[in-house]
Structure 1
Amino acid sequence: MSPRGRNVGNLDLPPHVETDKKANGTVYYRYLLPNGQRKSLGKDKYEAIKAAQALNSVLERNPDIVSKILTSVERQQKQLTIPTFAQALTEYENIHLPKKKYAKNTLDIVTSNITKYHDMWDPLYCTDISLLMISEYLKQQTDFQAEKHRSQLIDIWKYFVANGWAPENIAEKTLKPIRPEKVRTRHSNESIDIVKAACPDWLRLAIDLALHSIQRRADLVVMERTSINIKDNTMTVLQHKSLNYDKPVFIEVDMHPELREIVLLCLEHGMKLRCPYLISTRPERITAQIRDAKLHPFAVTEDHLTKQFKKYRDLSGAYDHLEPNQRPSLHDLRALGIYNITQQYGKKYAQALAGHANVKMTDHYLEGHETPKPERISYR
């Protein structure tokens, strides 16, 4: 907005200053903001001029020549030394991120989050993004999401600081989200029997395979017939969660009787569908998109297995006494399986079958299942 024309008597006033002369001769000064609002500058002409000059400089409305030159030089220096956020984050993605060796699912989440950061801050320079901007963004997330975003932003700014693009890691100064304590509930064998009674055949087999093999869903859905040696009674699994480890977890164990029985049933079911995977089903419809997302037309994806388990778990009514977010999940079958196998075949076998590097992780899964020992109280 161009400054309004001034009277001859007001030529010594800065642009955007108006006068209001009262009947008693007192002159008041007002400043005209870019949005058309007027703010009083009082009746002291000297103070009004100083305030107007400062406002013009801050708002870049006809600033003085020195301010123009300094601002121009500052911008040129920033352009020469500091990349835009878009450039810096792209380098982080292409150079630093591949070194992190994230699992595929984790990498998908990280990449999705980075896309959100691009959308918000791409036009800005790294130094233009403030602690307030990051803090406000984290406040918009759930506690769980905020924890993940904060961790990711700290790593991004760590890379920026290391390259001299930011003076400090402002993401570290944000408050660490406090997640509400998770109410841990466990499956019971009685409840699982109720759930299985409501399931279709293929899902019932999948639940039993998860329970007796104690493998994660990512390993369950890709377990092939070739991983089973019926003659030697062994099962071989390369655990996908460990693929990026220095030493991936590759297990070959003897199958206990219950595991062998369910494996034979899965093999029989798969042979009918001519599917090489132990968990298989004929979908109601097959589109090109569904086919591309699957290893085989009759194979089952991780997401589908989880959703179907949740669906029939709730339909069965086995956990109606719990809130939906407290009901045990498909992954919690692993804990029940570890408990059952520990009780029947010992903790060392359960640890080997689960692929745990140490017994501490096995004990973590056993928490909530073990019956506490009675406390002995002695009185003399």
Structure 2
Amino acid sequence: MKARARPSGIYYYYFNGSKELPLGKDYVDAVRKWAELEAGNTSVAKTIAITFRQVAEKYTAKVIPTKAPRTQKDNLGELANLYKFFDDPPAPLDSIEPHHIAQYRDWRKVTRSTQEIALLSHIWNWAREQGYTKQPNPCVGVKRNRAKGRNVYVDDALFQRVYDQADQPTRDAMDLAFLAAQRPGDSLRFKETDIRDGALWVRQGKTGTPVRVEIVGQLAQVIERIKARKAATPGIRSLALVVNEKGQALTASALDGRFGKAREKAGIGTMEFQFRDLRAKAATETEDTAGMEQAQALLGHADAKMTSHYVRHRMGKLVKPTR
């Protein structure tokens, strides 16, 4: 394979002994086409190798933009750590083996390495589909650094202690997050335009799952209260349901700060109550009163196994006595 400098950049060619065949400008694609033309000349193949970074950068350009915004942000952060290990020095893709994945796990130590290895695994499977490697996925069978999940149930008394110390925007956010049982980010994205046909229409940011939460009971009261507060706020108002005192949408960082202050005033530690625990509280109480199927539907999970992670061991299963 030969590289030729042109005014618009470097182009690659395959020399078959008599003439040069164009392979394109993209190095990774050029290597793949070269390998197909070379048809298994292993003695030459060792001299030209696609590195992990080169494939990961193509994955970043083609696949990551199709994911949810939060997932995109997480993937980019995970790749930064993967590059520290697999690109210093650059690692040829086909040279990565299971013991290298285990070394990475032990080098990182933190449980976040589990998500990073999962991303590497996804990149590898994509690379196989694209023809960049024929090697088996080295992540298969490698143990991960597993975190012990939170097992916190926020009872009504604990909820009320923070609620009493919170400002009104934070109270609105807490009510909506608990009653609609959605993730914190999704709860902040609720808009008046999401209210249609007597329901709050949700498109979950993480999975894209659609959920319609019927506006009845306490949820209806909270939404009416929010609308009344917004109507009484002078100036330009946002369509968001969770707004600050000026009627503008409350950001995630602002909510974190306000919730943290309320929790501190209530004398409650960070590990005792986190805003995300409201989704688990909703799942637990829904499962307890209406069953796992209803809890699963409310949370928008594809299967009950995922929902069980939110309700297991939190409050204790309500059971009937023997007699």
1:332-351 paired onto structure 2 within 5 Å: 332-340=277-285, 346-347=290-291
Q: Shift in Å at residue 360 of structure 1? A: 6.2
Counterpart-to-counterpart distance in 2, 1:147 and 1:137: 10
Counterpart-to-counterpart distance in 1, 2:266 and 2:187: 23
Counterpart-to-counterpart distance in 2, 1:79 and 1:109: 34
Query: Residue by residue, what CA displacement relative to the aligned partner does 1:180-235 show, whole Å, maximum 9, x if unpaired?
Result: 43350100001111011111121112112222222222221111123336xx7543
Amino acid at match of 2:67: Y
1:27 corresponds to: none
1:330 corresponds to: 275
1:170 partnered with 2:138: yes
Quickly say closer, same or farther: Cα 1:236–1:143, change in 2 above 3 A.
same
1:261 corresponds to: 221
Give the TM-score, by structure 2 length: 0.69
> SS of 1:172's equivalent?
coil
1:5-24 paired onto structure 2 within 5 Å: none
State which of 176, 181, 185 in structure 2 corresponds to 1:214.
Answer: 181
State which of 185, 188, 200 in structure 1 corresponds to 2:152.
Answer: 185
Query: Residue by residue, what CA displacement relative to the aligned partner does 1:91-135 show, whole Å, maximum 9, x if unpaired?
Result: 33334556xx53321222112222343455174433455656543
Indicate if the aligned counterparts of 2:113 and 2:144 stay in contact, CA closer than 8 A.
yes
Counterpart-to-counterpart distance in 2, 1:219 and 1:205: 14
Counterpart-to-counterpart distance in 2, 1:186 and 1:107: 30
Aligned residues: 275
Amino acid at match of 2:244: T
Quote the RMSD (CA, aligned, Å).
Answer: 3.6
Quickly say closer, same or farther: Cα 1:374–1:300, change in 2 above 3 A.
same
Give the TM-score, by structure 1 length: 0.60
Quickly say closer, same or farther: Cα 1:191–1:86, change in 2 above 3 A.
closer
Amino acid at match of 2:319: K
> SS of 1:236's equivalent?
strand
Amino acid at match of 1:328: F
Indicate if the aligned counterparts of 2:96 and 2:138 stay in contact, CA closer than 8 A.
no
Quickly say closer, same or farther: Cα 1:75–1:110, change in 2 above 3 A.
farther
Gaps of 5+ in 1: 1-72, 284-296
2:315 corresponds to: 369
Indicate if the aligned counterparts of 1:85 and 1:123 stay in contact, CA closer than 8 A.
yes
1:162-311 paired onto structure 2 within 5 Å: 163=131, 165=133, 167-172=135-140, 175-228=142-195, 233-243=198-208, 248-251=209-212, 253=214, 255-271=215-231, 272=233, 274-282=237-245, 298-311=248-261
